[in-house]
Amino acid sequence: MVTAGDFRNGVTFEYEGNVLQVVEFQHVKPGKGAAFVRTKCKNVKTGSVVERTFSPTEKFENAQVDRREMQYLYTDGDLYYFMDMESYEQMPIGADKLDDNFKFVKEEMMCKIVSYKGDIFAVEPPMFVELEVTDTEPGFKGDTAQGATKPATLETGATIKVPLFIEIGEMLRIDTRTGEYLERA
């Protein structure tokens, strides 16, 4: 059990049948009236963020969210197959559980499978990946006015903005959280 007075960033708890994770919290002691805890919580299953206030003495059940490292194998229609590296068990996961940033994941990459009580609700790709540029336009001299960029297609099919000097066949380091080019690999 956890009380609202014990809330810290990252704490997960059950509330009204949902699993919430504290994103921000603030203990408030007004001049008049009782103290309260103002929170911004993320529903870990749906991803929605809600703001709630709680009494510091309210109690909630702890929610244990599991993150298992698994290897992405292949896609078959709307199912994406992952393998547990300890038991070699393969697990199909529906496309609805994948975020938009999964477009940077290629076969044999390690991902974190996030579940609560055995119910998988998300797949977290690695924070940084190295991918090859398969298609981009050539950059021209003189086009370099203030950090000019051009579109580039990566080996996974994802398209990102890159500096003009990047050419086909180069390996790039990409931040999967923002989808931005970081550097040459």
pLDDT in tens, 76-123: 989 999 999 899 999 999 888 888 888 999 999 999 988 888 888 788
Distance CA(157)–CA(147), nearest Å, equals: 24
Distance CA(105)–CA(113), nearest Å, equals: 14
Distance CA(52)–CA(23), nearest Å, equals: 11
Give me the residues paired with residue 15 across strands.
18
- All structural domains of the chain: 2-60 (2.30.30.30), 65-124 (2.40.50.140), 128-184 (2.40.50.140)
pLDDT digits (tens, 9 = 90+) for 67-89: 899 999 999 989 999 999 899 99
Residue 144: the pLDDT is 57
The residue ranges of DSSP E strands in the chain, in sequence order, are: 2-3, 12-15, 18-28, 36-43, 49-54, 59-60, 65-76, 79-84, 90-94, 110-116, 119-124, 128-136, 149-154, 159-163, 171-175, 180-184
